[in-house]
Amino acid sequence: MSELAQGLTIAAFSVILAAILAFIVRLNGRIDALTVSTAKLETQISPFWASVQLQISKDLHHPNPRYHEMDDLLEKLEALTISPEERERLKALLVERSSDTHEDISEDQRKKASLMIPLMDMVTEEAKQREVREH
C-alpha cells in the first residue's frame, strides 16, 4: 500500500472516529437535558399527588362518631405521621367506605375512598424513591 493510500485510510478513519465522538457527545448532552427535565417533572408531580391525597383525605372526614377511627387515621396521614400498620388499617376502612351504602355516605365519598387507596400507595412509593435518590 502506498503512503498516499495509507494517509487517506488514516484520514478516513479519523473523520469517522471524530463523527462518532461528536455524536456521542451530542447524545450525552441530550440525555443530561432529559435527566434535568425528568427531575423537574418529578418535583412538580409529587407535590401535586400529595395535595390531591390531602384534599381527598379532608373530603372523607365525616361528622358521624362511627367514622371516628377513619378520621383519626386520615389526620395522621395528612400529618405524615401514620405508621405502616395504621396505613393498612386505613386501607381496610377505605375499602369498607367505598362500598358503604349507609344513607350518610354519598356516592362521591365512596368514589373518593376507592381512589384514596392507590393514591396513598403512589405517594408512599414516590417518597421512598425520593429518599433512595437523595442517599
pLDDT of residue 90: 93
Report how many domains make up the chain: 1
pLDDT of residue 41: 57
- What are the b/e assignments for 11-50, b being 16+ CB within 10 Å? eeeeeeeeeeeeeeeeeeeeeeeeeeeeeeeeeeebeeeb
What is the rounded distance in angstroms from the CA atom of residue 42 to the CA atom of residue 36?
Answer: 10
pLDDT along the chain (135 residues), means of 10: 83 89 89 72 64 86 88 86 88 92 90 89 74 72
pLDDT of residue 45: 56
Q: Helix %, strand %, coil % for the chain, to 5?
A: 85, 0, 15
pLDDT of residue 76: 86
Domain containing residue 61: 3-134
